[in-house]
Amino acid sequence: MEPIVSVKNVSKTFPAGKNLLGRPNKFVHAVNNVSFDIYRGETFSVVGESGCGKSTTGRLIDHLLVPDSGEIWFDGKDISKLSQAEMRPLRKNIQMIFQDPAGSLNPRMRVEDLVEEPLLIHTNLSKEERMKIVHELLETVGLSAKHAKRYPHEFSGGQKQRIGIARALTVKPELIIADEPISALDVSIQAQVLNLLHDLQQKFNLTYLFISHDLSVVEMISDRIAVMYLGYVVELAPKTVLYKNPAHPYTQALLSAVPIPDPGHQQERIILEGDIPSTINLPKGCPFAARCKQCRPECLETKPIQTEIEPGHFVSCHLYK
């Protein structure tokens, strides 16, 4: 299978402090030397805790941010160095769904105008043709054409997210980057939106990059998963492998920390001590060393190299060499 997206050794930093002359001298290392491929038609998930660089990774692929180093290939083309103008025709193929559905819809626009807008930019269709597509899409995402004339505030959170999804689908994208699309929704609504995303993928043959902190949701929707910590991908594996046989100590701790909605369930919990360290001064050795129970002297000194411990299962840890 050919990859639709290839991320190759990508790093991104943000300035965090300035010296006397106003030049930045401190940097937040948000994404560090990250590489992965996303194949056509799959759901690739990036999981991790806040500040691990998962959203930055999504924004880099969507070219909302430009990487400091490394390459991002989309459809056989390196897009990391394109200008905004060069990128524009390609944007049609990559669409985003955001976490906060209320914040990503213009409150002064009607739903039909919101959903129509991408068509105005990317196509030459007539008003009638555009409206036909808009109304069809609203039905597809579980709203109805009668909702088209309303404003965003007249909808509940789940419905707003449906509008956001319809908007992303208008230009028939190949890749959808969904950044925590259900985190702001209530439990009973989360399931509705997840099921919708699943149906749409089958119907339109979409590829998803799904960014989330919730491991139970990720397990449901993904084919392959990358676990990020402190801007590094620490483990990457197909879903079934990752959940059955997590190799990296961080993945193990993360999985064991998820509360299971079953009072009869007894589990050995790995409680991590301390907090996630700052990404301004990255540790010299393994990023996870400070909180790792299996930390050895070499972990503090050298960065582990990504190794393939079984087909398709990559781990960056000194325990596996």
Partner 1 sequence: MVQERLLTVNKLRTEFFQSKKSSVTAINEISFHLDKGEILGLVGESGCGKSVTSLSIMRLLNFTSGKVTKGEVIFDGEDLQKISENEMRKIRGGKMSMIFQEPMSSLNPAMRIDKQMIEGIRLHTNMSKEEARKHASKMLSQVGIPDPERVLKNYPHQLSGGMSQRVMIAMAMSCNPQMLIADEPTTALDVTIQAQILELMKKIQQEEGMSILLITHDLGVVAEMCTRVIVMYAGEIVEEAPVEELFNHPTHPYTEGLIASVPKLGSGVKVLPSIPGSVPDLSMLPKGCRFAPRCKYATERCRNEEPDLFQISANQKCRCWRQER
Interface ranges with partner 1 (CB under 8 A):
49-50, 156, 158-159, 186-192, 194-195, 198, 213, 215-217, 219-220, 243, 253-265, 269, 271-276
Residues 6 or more apart whose Cβ sits within 8 Å of residue 82: 63, 90
Instruction: Specify the amino acid at residue 289.
Output: A
Is the Cβ of residue 76 or residue 274 nearer to partner 1 in the bound state?
274
Is the Cβ of residue 173 or residue 249 nearer to partner 1 in the bound state?
249
As measured in angstroms, the least distance from the Cβ of 49 to partner 1 is 4
Is the Cβ of residue 90 or residue 282 nearer to partner 1 in the bound state?
282
Is the Cβ of residue 94 or residue 218 nearer to partner 1 in the bound state?
218
As measured in angstroms, the least distance from the Cβ of 253 to partner 1 is 6
In Å, how far are 23, 124, 309 from 233, measured between CA atoms?
Answer: 30, 41, 15
Q: For the chain, what's the residue count?
A: 321
* Beta carbons of 293 and 249 less than 8 angstroms apart: yes
As measured in angstroms, the least distance from the Cβ of 116 to partner 1 is 25
For 231-273, give the DSSP string. TEEEEEEEHHHHHHS--SHHHHHHHHTSPPS-TT------PPP
Is the Cβ of residue 82 or residue 257 nearer to partner 1 in the bound state?
257
* Cα within 13 Å of Cα(131), Cβ side: 9
Structure tokens at 283: 């540790």
As measured in angstroms, the least distance from the Cβ of 98 to partner 1 is 19
As measured in angstroms, the least distance from the Cβ of 259 to partner 1 is 3
Number of neighbouring beta carbons within 10 Å of residue 203: 10
As measured in angstroms, the least distance from the Cβ of 179 to partner 1 is 17
Is the Cβ of residue 123 or residue 201 nearer to partner 1 in the bound state?
201
